[in-house]
Amino acid sequence: METQSLLPSRSSAAGRIATTTDFDMERKPILEKLRTQAEHYHDQIPWIRKLPANAVGIILLLVVVQVVVWVAVGIVLHFHTALISTAVLSYTLGLRHALDADHISAIDLMTRRLVASGQKPVTVGTYFSLGHSTIVIVTSIVVAASSAAIQKRFDGFSTVGSIIGSSVSAAFLIILGTMNCWILYKLYQQLQRAIASPIGQESLDFSFEGGGCMTMLLRRTFKLVDRPWKMYPLGVLFGLGFDTSSEIALLGISSIQAAQGTSIWLILIFPILFTSGMCLLDTFDGAAMMSLYTSARLAKDAIAVLYYQCVLTAITVAVAISIGVIQLLTMIHNVRPDFEGPFWDGVDVAGEHYDVIGGAICGSFVVFGLLSVLLYKPWRRTVDRKRLATMNSEGGDGELQSQILDDGNVENENGWRADTGKSDGVRMAVQPVGESSRS
């Protein structure tokens, strides 16, 4: 009897287990409710639901970071009111620089290439911006620590850095533009094959089979950046142009001169504000591009997918090569300022208004996107009528022909309409040779 009394009863053990389980279950519903509410709000807001949920999460996190940074800055600048205007200017410069043409082109091209390899990258812009900002912060620390000595030699260092950064940036954009030319060519080929295939039997499978010489030459280049985090070192190289760092460095020098005795920690407010603003817009840019390239609205309609992929890829090719050439010409003119004439005057104007060019690129995506949507339906009706005529001439299946709608649109056995592409399901993955699909 004594031995039995020393042993815990089944009821008490079960009670402890139940208590522990209840405690765990109380915590889990809280997290589940928060996640469910977040997903609900994400699905309810029209403009937000077009972005992936994880991308929205990252953007919201960055918004919180903006608020925290500005609250901290506000507390600090309460005792240094003379620096408020400089702080606002630093943040504005960060937002403006995120619209620079080289940022938008690099983020768009790498997002396009990573989507082509089967990934769903949402942090391309984030890592690129952080890499770029590393140079900004390091330069600001150096300048703030020894402004007098650096100021005497900074012009020469800035010139060398500008040549290196511009060369890397221009080469990167031109090479990726060329690579996307190859992708555009293969996409166009598959679009032609999809149009020529029987109605309702189009395929979304795509690969660079038999790529030949160009694919072999670019195979190693395709693999240089195969993860979003590898945009960080690329952003560092882009930052060597010092078109951004020089602005922050000069802000640091002017702040030291304006407020005597300013500490290096106070000077760091400016690059931090610059970084937070640039990172927010670059992240949004990358997420928006990824959302465009993996739009579920176009799922299962191979012709619609390939049509919009061709339009977007053609825009990115034109933008990348144009900006790369402008950067190359600007660098040449900076090295050889003796080149004169209307042509080089135009190069100077373009080089001095990269923010305007960047805004024009954003606008071009919107304009050409709207035009492609407006032109798609009449183009698709024409294509479907030709396909139907070909099928009739070849004695096609009468049951399939009965699925042709009155307005000339096509509906297959899966229930999608050819002119809308509205369906839930497969997304196209354009997969270069030598790379496996990644989720």
**9-23, 154-168, 218-232, 422-436: lowest mean pLDDT where?**
422-436
pLDDT for the residue numbered 399: 47
Report d(CA 234, CA 209) in Å as an integer.
29
In this predicted structure, the answer to whether residue 170 has a pLDDT above a threshold of 50 is yes
pLDDT for the residue numbered 67: 93
> What separation in angstroms does the CA of 303 have from each of 47, 251, 423?
25, 52, 14
Q: Which residues contact 379 (CB under 8 A, 6 or more apart)?
A: 307
Domain boundaries, the chain: 56-391
Of 93-97, 218-222, 421-425, where does the model show the most confidence?
93-97
Instruction: Give the CA radius of gyration of the chain.
Output: 28
Q: Which residue has the higher pLDDT, 257 or 75?
A: 75
In this predicted structure, the answer to whether residue 151 has a pLDDT above a threshold of 60 is no
Work out the pLDDT band at 71, boundaries 50, 70, 90: very high
User: 259 near 83, Cβ under 8 Å?
Assistant: yes
In this predicted structure, the answer to whether residue 270 has a pLDDT above a threshold of 80 is yes
pLDDT for the residue numbered 90: 81
Work out the pLDDT band at 148, boundaries 50, 70, 90: very low
User: 239 near 133, Cβ under 8 Å?
Assistant: yes
> Can you read off the two tokens belonging to residue 296?
């579920």
> Can you read off the two tokens belonging to residue 337?
């300022």
**57-61, 161-165, 338-342, 420-424: lowest mean pLDDT where?**
420-424
> What separation in angstroms does the CA of 377 have from each of 300, 306, 387, 408?
17, 14, 15, 10
Work out the pLDDT band at 165, boundaries 50, 70, 90: low
- DSSP letter, residue 51: S
Q: Which residue has the higher pLDDT, 347 or 24?
A: 347
Angle at 330 between CA 175 and CA 240, to 5 degrees: 70
User: 102 near 327, Cβ under 8 Å?
Assistant: yes
Work out the pLDDT band at 87, boundaries 50, 70, 90: confident
- Per-residue pLDDT of 363-392, as tens digits, reads 777 787 788 878 888 888 888 888 888 777
Residue with the two structure tokens 């770029």:
132
Q: Would you say how long the chain is, in residues?
A: 439
In this predicted structure, the answer to whether residue 429 has a pLDDT above a threshold of 60 is no
Work out the pLDDT band at 246, boundaries 50, 70, 90: very low
